[in-house]
Each structure stands twice: as C-alpha cells, then as structure tokens.
Chains A and B, each alone.
Chain A
Amino acid sequence: MILISASNYLCRRAMRFPQKLATNLLLLTCLAVTQDIPGKRIPSVSMSPPPLITITRGKRGTVDLHFRVDAGFHINSNTPKSEFLIPTVLKLTAPTDIVVGKVIYPHGEQMSFPFAPEEKLSVYSGVFILGVVVRPLVSVVPGKYAFHGQLKYQACDKAACYPPKQLPVDFQVKIAKGSTAHKKNPGQSPHVHK
C-alpha cells in the first residue's frame, strides 16, 4: 500500500515535470546511437510464410514470396551495377513433374549511401517480393507439394558489408485436378494397340 502510494506520488510529480520529455529524448538518442554503430547487429532477411496457392495441373501459376530486409540494411538486387557485387538469387528445387519456371525479381531501388554519395546502387530494402512461376505437368497427382530452396544475398549497412548468406526458403503449393481435364480419345492413346 505504501509502495503504491509512493509510486502514485512520484508519477504525479514526474508527469508535471518538463524534463520528462528531455529524458525521453536523451534515451531515444542513446538508443539510436547504439543502433547506428556499424556491425552492432547481424543483418538478416526473413520470409513471411506464403498463403497456400492452388495451381491447376497442366497450367502455370505464380507464387509470390515476401521477404523482409532488417531496418538499416540493404541487399543487392538481382542485377547489381557492378560485376563484383553479389546479386540476390533464389534457387529452388521442385518435386518431380513440377516445373519451376523463371523467378521474377523486382527492379532494385536506385539508392546512394553515405559511403559513396555520388554512386547509385541497385538494392532491395524493407519488403520485396519475388514471383516464382510454377507449372505442374498434367501427370502430377493432385495434392500438396513442398518446394525447398535458398535465397542467397549479401547485405550492407551504411558503413560496412557482411559476408554472403543463404536463407532457407520453403513453401507449399496445392496442385488441383482442374475442372476441364480433357478426355482422352481411346483410339489415339499410345497404350492402345490394335
């Protein structure tokens, strides 16, 4: 009871005190300074689990994969401006009879950084979306199929760069039979021998 009364008293006093704002600002500044020290944190890219997409067998569909680059970092786009920079690349392995087509990479943001204010780099920062074109063959048994792969990226902040890393990428696609499955003409089937 005494403690509650004392804390109420102190809170009422503190609320009236104009230095509260200054204190908060000081604290925020301290935190901001800590955040800005290069190499203080390891950069990371994460992927949001994509919703289950249904693709009809024999047809083509696109799965959008949403990635997020940690605040304060950037990674090279798929088409960086120098041959020495490491591009962001998604590599996937597909289940049998499902073809993984091209990966659609967004254009990089053209950004300059304090270390080279006159040079623009092609980068991804924040959220970026990669589209994966998937085409299951007509022979695929309907059901859920898992895709596995890796996103290779190399991150930097405004003063330092970090070695290339690989993020495991896993998602599922539901393959449906489709409503317009064509009927085979028994007479033309290669398995029918007269």
Chain B
Amino acid sequence: MRRDPVVIIVVAMVVSVMLIAGVYKSRRSPDQIPAGPSLKGQLAPDFALQSLDGKTVHLSDFRGKAVLLNFWATWCQPCKIEMPWFADLQKQYAAEGLQVIGIAMDEASPEDIGKFAKDLGVNYPVLVGKEAVGDAYGGVQFLPATFYIGRDGKVVDKVFGLKGRGEIESAIKKALAQGQAVQAQK
C-alpha cells in the first residue's frame, strides 16, 4: 500500500499538537500535585529529627555513607510492602556503606510507630517526621517517597510511590557508587 506523505505529515502534526495540549493541560490541571524543586544532583537538605528513642539525628551524621531516605506512614499500605525489603537491603549492603533511614510522617505516637516498624522487621533508624523536613525535600505529598543520597551527600535519585525491589536495589547501587571517588581521595 502506498503511503500518502501529506496524510502522514498531517497525522504526525495532529498527534504532536494533541500531546502538547495534553501535557499543557495536565500541567495546568488544578488537581495536579505541584512539582517541588528538583533535588537531583544537589546536596540533600540536612535535618535534625528525633528518633523513636528520643535521640536527635542529623542527616549529616551519615556523610560518607550512601543513604536511602524513606518517607512513610503507618496508614500507608504500599509503604508496608517495601519496608521489609529495605530491612533486607540494609543487611545486604551495610558493609558497603548503605544506611537506610525511615521518616514517619505520621500523627501516630512514637510507641505505635515503633510497634508498626518492629512488626515489619525494621532494623534501621526510624525518625519522627516534621512537615518542614518534607517541605525541604520538595513537599512530600504522597507516600512512600524515597530519596537516594550518595556518599557525597548529593541526591542521586528520588522515587515516589511503590517500586519493585529490583528498582530499589539498582538505585541503592547508584547511591553507593556516587561520591565513591571523592571518598577514595580523602
């Protein structure tokens, strides 16, 4: 069958216009989540948060390690799926310099948060979140939200929503590799 170039061009133009219009509309949509500042490649904002046992923990305490920073809540069912994976991956990559940190964006009491985390086998520090910290990370408007931070303290990747274990592990490897050269020079 002979393809008419005029029709192909017109179809391509129509598709392009509709796609651009769709993207524009979705950006303008009033119920869309506003995009926060992109943190990729930037220094992860430092914070001071209380751990469940009342200690003050700073992100900067973990400089030199790759950090998986996971925002979660007890009311978030998808968060429950990945937390045991994080616990496994913490064990698996601890020797290579991984530190998983959970930040509970919750109104539940620290006791309830602790019980919830313990039931899921969490073996990493869980901190009681504050809205200001969420805002510093671009406004964590839904959970789970996970930031992968390299050894140099820079954000390597950010992932919103539940992802597969394989994707999480790949991002951990990227974070472990990030800043390794800097580390070696020191």
Contact = CB atoms under 8 A, between A and B. Distances in A.
Given A84-B75, A84-B112, A38 B11 contact: no
Nearest to B160: A39
B11 A20 contact: yes
B73 interface: yes
A119 B76 CA distance: 14
A189 to B, nearest CB: 53
B15 to A, nearest CB: 6
B38 interface: no
Contacts of B162: 38, 115, 159-160
Interface string A157-183: 001111110000000000000000000
Interface stretch (B77-85, B91-99, B170-178): B77-85
Interface in B1-48: 4, 6-8, 10-11, 14-15, 18-19, 22, 26, 29, 31-33
Interface in A95-112: none
A185 interface: no
Contacts of B29: 41
Contacts of A119: 77
Interface residues of B, number: 37
Contact of B4 (A13, A30, A156): A13
A31 B22 contact: yes
Interface string A52-92: 00000000000000000010000000000000111000000
A20 B74 CA distance: 48
Given A84-B108, A85-B77, A40 B19 contact: no
Interface of A: 10, 13-14, 17, 19-20, 23, 26-27, 30-31, 34, 38-42, 44, 70, 84-86, 113, 115-116, 119, 121, 154, 156, 159-164
B15 A26 contact: yes
Contacts of A19: 7-8, 11
A163 to B, nearest CB: 7
A38 B160 contact: yes
B161 interface: yes
B60 interface: no
A84 B143 CA distance: 15
Interface of B: 4, 6-8, 10-11, 14-15, 18-19, 22, 26, 29, 31-33, 73-81, 105, 108, 112, 116, 141-144, 160-163
A56 to B, nearest CB: 41
The residue among B4, B10, B144, B162 with the most chain A CB atoms within 10 A of its own CB is B162
A27 B26 contact: no
B15 A161 contact: no
Contacts of A84: 74-75, 108, 112, 116
B141 to A, nearest CB: 7
Given A23-B14, A161-B143, 20 more contacts: A19-B7, A19-B8, A27-B15, A31-B22, A38-B142, A38-B160, A39-B160, A42-B31, A44-B31, A84-B112, A85-B77, A113-B77, A116-B78, A116-B81, A121-B77, A156-B76, A160-B160, A161-B77, A163-B105, A164-B75
Nearest to B140: A163
A162 B141 contact: yes
